[in-house]
Amino acid sequence: MTATYAFTDDELEYMRNVQEGHMMDTCVFQHRTVTPNTYNEQVETWPTDSAEINCGLDMRPGSERRGADSTVLQYDAVLRLPITTSVDVKDKIRITKRFGEILTTPLTYEIVGPVQRGPSGIRVLLKRIDL
């Protein structure tokens, strides 16, 4: 007898609703764009070009070992996002509200690891940057 561990559609929907219901913060994505300047040099910019979305920011730093050579990846925070969110590792993320309150100075992060997709949401490792 073979065991199956797949979730049903109802179970997935329930887990995703619970996950999103516990996302108490708000963020916007800054997608990387590359444009030439007057000297035809490629210049990277990160304009804020997304609508606000609910997210869950865990500001506990940590480290993980990655790859065959066990490279240590240091991060400042972990961000949970809805499963339907499209994330590129070149994006930057700006936290605009923390626990529902508007931040006078938004927190800006870059993504420092691969996007981790689970059954109920997306998880990304972040490094704080100052603008």
- Whether residue 131 is predicted with pLDDT greater than 70 in this model: the reply is no
The larger pLDDT score, comparing residue 125 to residue 38, is at: 125
Mean pLDDT of the chain: 88
Cα dist from 39 to 33, 45, 52, whole Å: 17, 16, 35
> Would you state the structure tokens that stand for residue 44, as one six-digit string?
């990277």
Task: Report percent pLDDT > 70 for the chain.
Answer: 96
Q: Name the β-bridge partners of 66.
A: 71
Superfamily of chain region 25-129: Protein of unknown function DUF3599 (2.40.10.370)
| Residue 48's pLDDT band (cuts 50, 70, 90) | confident
